[in-house]
Every structure is written in structure tokens, then in C-alpha cells.
Amino acid sequence: MDENCCCTGRTKERSPEEYKSLVNRLSRIEGQIRGIRGMLDKNAYCPDILVQAAAANAALNAFSRELLSSHIRTCVVNDVRAGNDEVIDELLATLQKLMR
């Protein structure tokens, strides 16, 4: 198994760098959401709120892309190499959910 991946069952041990990157992205997204809430509390103009909501959506999509990329490069590759082709079906089902 790759030293960068410890995928066992339904868990994954992430490197400190990967964990920090993902947590930082989520912290920024949380800040954006709090900002949107503040705009709503201050009766901001609807299009201004919508622009900020679109930015938060884009940030969440970037988080998902980073996480998916890591998953494919580690867990999926390792499972396929180990002969566990079921991981491909799981990946396809995940992609379908992400594209809704």
C-alpha cells in the first residue's frame, strides 16, 4: 500500500499536509457562509448575496475536487492494483452524486 494512503474499509488516514489543506479550505468556506449570513442580517441587496453564495459554492466545489483527486490517486489506485475492481463502481456512483 502507498505510504501516502492508509485506506482501510470506510476510513482514510490522511497526511498532515492533506488534512491541513482540506481543513483550511473548509475554514474559508465557513467564513464565507458566516459572511453571507451577516449580509442577510444587514438586509444586503439580493444580487450581492447571490454573488457571495456563488463564490461559496465554487469554494465548496474546489474542496470536493481536491478530496476526489486525492481519493482517486490513493485509495482507488491502490484498490485497483490489489484487484478490488468494485472501487470503480463506487467511484462512478460518487461521481454521479457529485454531478447532480
Domain extent listing, the chain: 14-98
Residues with Cβ within 8 Å of residue 88, at least 6 apart in sequence: 76, 80
Tens of pLDDT, residue by residue over 22-49, are 999 999 999 999 999 999 999 999 999 9
Give 92 or 12, the one with higher predicted confidence. 92
pTM, full prediction = 0.84
CA atoms within 13 A on the CB side of 27: 6
Amino acid at the residue 31: G
Amino acid at the residue 40: L
CA end-to-end span of the chain, whole Å? 33
- The DSSP bridge partners found for residue 6 are 13
Query: pLDDT at position 83, please?
Result: 95
Q: Is the pLDDT of residue 90 over 60?
A: yes
Query: pLDDT at position 7, please?
Result: 66
Query: pLDDT at position 60, please?
Result: 96
E strand map for 2-99? 6-8, 11-13
14-98: CATH number: 1.20.58.1000
Closest CA to 59 of 39, 84, 33, 91: 33
